[in-house]
Structure 1
Amino acid sequence: MVTTGGTTLKDDIMRLYNVVHILVGTPGRVLDLADKGIANLKECTTLIMDEADKLLSPEFQPVLEQLVNHCSRKRQICLFSATFPVTVKDFKDRHISNPYEINLMDELTLKGITQFYAFVAERQKVHCLNTLFSKLEVNQSIIFCNSVNRVELLAKKITELGYSCFYIHAKMQQSHRNRVFHEFRNGATRHLVSSDLFTRGIDIQSVNVVINFDFPKNAETYLHRIGRSGRFGHLGLAINLITYEDRHNLFRIEQELGTEIKPIPAVIDRDLYCR
């Protein structure tokens, strides 16, 4: 069964009267069910954390620590993530004895994604975006901004330029976000403007272009953002709009990820992102 915050407990109680073999949920909701004695996790021998780096951030880690204590002492903990910061290592050292590590990042990181940057002034960004839309063969694109306010403002600008565009961010109601996501996945619009809410676990194969309208502050966010294109062996294009203030972040992220982000050429070969 699936359980998330913002839904009624009554439905969960009814379902947990029956046998449930796998419980998929958000940490706060699962802990709430366990604390209330609705979900008995004493026999739970496997705890899986997808996007472990996010789940073990300071925001969620206290909840996960409590959840672990609800599970069987003979438990297996599995952590999955594209990035493993220090918080994950600390948790692993405390809770997993004799851990086994599988690392596929050498094979998969940024594979199939061509990265460029355009050096622009802040006031030129919308014009640059308009030029990109006219020159690129976009199946679908996700355009990232660094704040909720900028997401909404940019989506309005793109619509005014005559392009179909949706937006999504964390301050929208969950039902509204679900609707936007499903309509975008079904091809109702070509462009989606997003905050970092949308950087993880989103597999939409038709997305072949990711644009960082605002350049991210760290390598982990950059990696997760551009990984929205190039899914399942498809090719993808990542374009970063870089201002003077972003230049040090650009260099640092290149160094940390061991990658090269090249200046954008006058013409981008469609074979780089349209297969």
Structure 2
Amino acid sequence: MGIYEKGFERPSPIQEESIPIALTGSDILARAKNGTGKTAAFCIPALEKIDPEKNAIQVVILVPTRELALQTSQVCKELGKYLNIEVMVSTGGTSLKDDIMRLYQPVHLLAGTPGRILDLTKKGICMLNECSMLIMDEADKLLAPEFQPSVEQLIRYLPASRQLLLFSATFPVTVKDFKQKYLPRPYVINLMDELTLKGITQYYAFVEERQKVHCLNTLFSKLSSYESFTFFSLHLFTRGIDIQAVNVVINFDFPKTAETYLHRLNTGKLTQLFGLNSYVGRSGRFGHLGLAVNLITYEDRFNMYRIEQELGTEIKTIPPQIDLAEYCQ
């Protein structure tokens, strides 16, 4: 009933893959971007496995920010509306006393940030000895230096038979190291290839910062399209931009992280992008061709190499002439 009232008619790909496996008790390492339904992909099996008759925390959902904790707990409350499951949020920057008082009441599912939950656990207020499932959303951020020690300490308070579910848009080295230590045989789900870089040819042009505008003008003169277009500078827009009829994107300022690189090419968040008659992510996703050109300075070279490694992709040197067939059909 909760799923029905939430308006879900059929599972998204990440939900279809994750939910049955999570219900078996297997660990999961899932790679999926925001906006694909991943929150429900772990909330639904978490709620399903909770016994509301047992007065104990049975599921912990770790997230990197208070905003995400509130959002996730709200989804849990809505989906579990008819299950009599008690959901609590606990994050840093709020009253510790209020959290302590709340934990004297029944709590079945706890969503929050690692530092605050660890603090309550060390104080003996948050009891995790019957917590059978730990979920880490945006695991790449949770395994950054500011969070990872707290995460690893929290795991020590869980039963040996605990189930770990990790969801992340990117798999940096920290996630891989964590997997080897805590998830020796996880069920791996990777939906990023189909949703992101498939069908997109990626090039880089090595330039000095002062040469960027000249390089951009040169690209304009060389790239062809089926129809005339108006050029828009989109670097001030951060969300909601969806240009359906374009097939070329020029990354004027190269991003520092793999996640940002993926989002720029695939979610319509065209931060610091200049769009020419195309929206690469849409075209790649639905089987059309797309082209991405990155303007790389000397300072960008290490970021580019790291992003190639993390995404398992190749950004090639731009050739003197770009074949029209690479981005037009």
Bin of the TM-score, shorter chain as denominator length: 0.5 to 0.7
Corresponding position of 2:282: 234
Q: Distance in 2 between matches of 1:7 and 1:131?
A: 53
Aligned to 1:23, the other structure's residue is in SS state strand
What is the one-letter code of the residue matched to 1:100?
A: P
Aligned to 2:260: 225
C-alpha spacing 1:93/1:164, structure 2 compared with 1 (3 Å): closer
Q: Who is 1:153 aligned against? A: none
Q: Deviations over 1:186-209 (max 9, x none)?
A: 67xx9xxxxxxxxxxxxxxxxx96
Which ranges of structure 1 fall in alignment gaps of 5 or more residues?
136-161, 167-182, 191-207
CA deviations on 1:154-184 (whole Å, 9 max, x unpaired) are: xxxxxxxx97876xxxxxxxxxxxxxxxx95
Rounded to whole Å, the distance in 2 between the matches of 1:265 and 1:38 is 65
- In structure 1, the residue corresponding to 2:156 is in which secondary structure? helix
The structure 2 residue matched to 1:259, chosen from 276, 292, 314, is: 314
Alpha-carbon RMSD across the aligned residues, in angstroms, is 4.8
**Residue from 25, 30, 35 that aligns with 2:117:** 30
Does the 8 Å contact 1:117/1:262 carry over to 2? yes
Q: Aligned-pair distance for 1:241?
A: 1.9
Q: Larger Cα Rg: Structure 1 or Structure 2?
A: 2
* Aligned counterpart in structure 2 of residue 100 of structure 1, from 156, 179, 186: 186
Amino acid in the other structure paired with 2:296: I
What is the alpha-carbon distance in structure 2 between the residues aligned to residue 43 and residue 101 of structure 1?
Answer: 23
Distance 2:320 2:95 in 1: 52
Question: Quick one: distance in 2 between partners of 1:40 and 1:123?
Answer: 58
The aligned counterpart of 2:143 is: 56
Task: State percent identity of aligned pairs.
Answer: 52
Answer whether contact 1:120 1:243 (CA < 8 A) is retained: yes
Indicate if the aligned counterparts of 1:112 and 1:230 stay in contact, CA closer than 8 A: no
User: C-alpha displacement at 1:37, in angstroms?
Assistant: 3.4
- Select which of 248, 253, 259 maps to 1:213: 253
Alpha-carbon spacing, 1:126–1:66, altered in 2? closer, same or farther (3 Å): farther
2:188 is paired with a residue whose SS is: coil
Matched with 1:19 is 106
- Distance in 2 between the 1:89 and 1:22 partners? 27
Number of residue pairs matched by the alignment: 210
- Shift, 1:67, TM fit: 0.5
Deviations 1:133-171 (A, max 9, x none): 9x9xxxxxxxxxxxxxxxxxxxxxxxxxx97876xxxxx
Q: Matched residue of 1:24: which SS?
A: strand
Q: Could you report, residue by residue, the CA deviation over 1:18-62 in whole angstroms, capped at 9, with x for unpaired residues? A: 433332222112212222334322221111123334423443222
Query: 2:81 matched to 1:46?
Result: no
TM, length-normalised to structure 1: 0.53
Q: How do 1:113-124 and structure 2 match up within 5 A?
A: 113-124=200-211
Corresponding position of 1:110: 197
Judged with a 3 Å threshold, the aligned counterparts in structure 2 of structure 1 residues 132 and 3 are, in CA distance, closer, same or farther, namely farther
User: Do the aligned residues in 2 keep the contact of 1:16 with 1:38 (CA within 8 Å)?
Assistant: yes
Shift of the 267–100 alpha-carbon distance from structure 1 to 2, 3 Å rule, reads closer
Q: How does 1:195-214 map to 2 (within 5 A)?
A: 211=251, 213-214=253-254
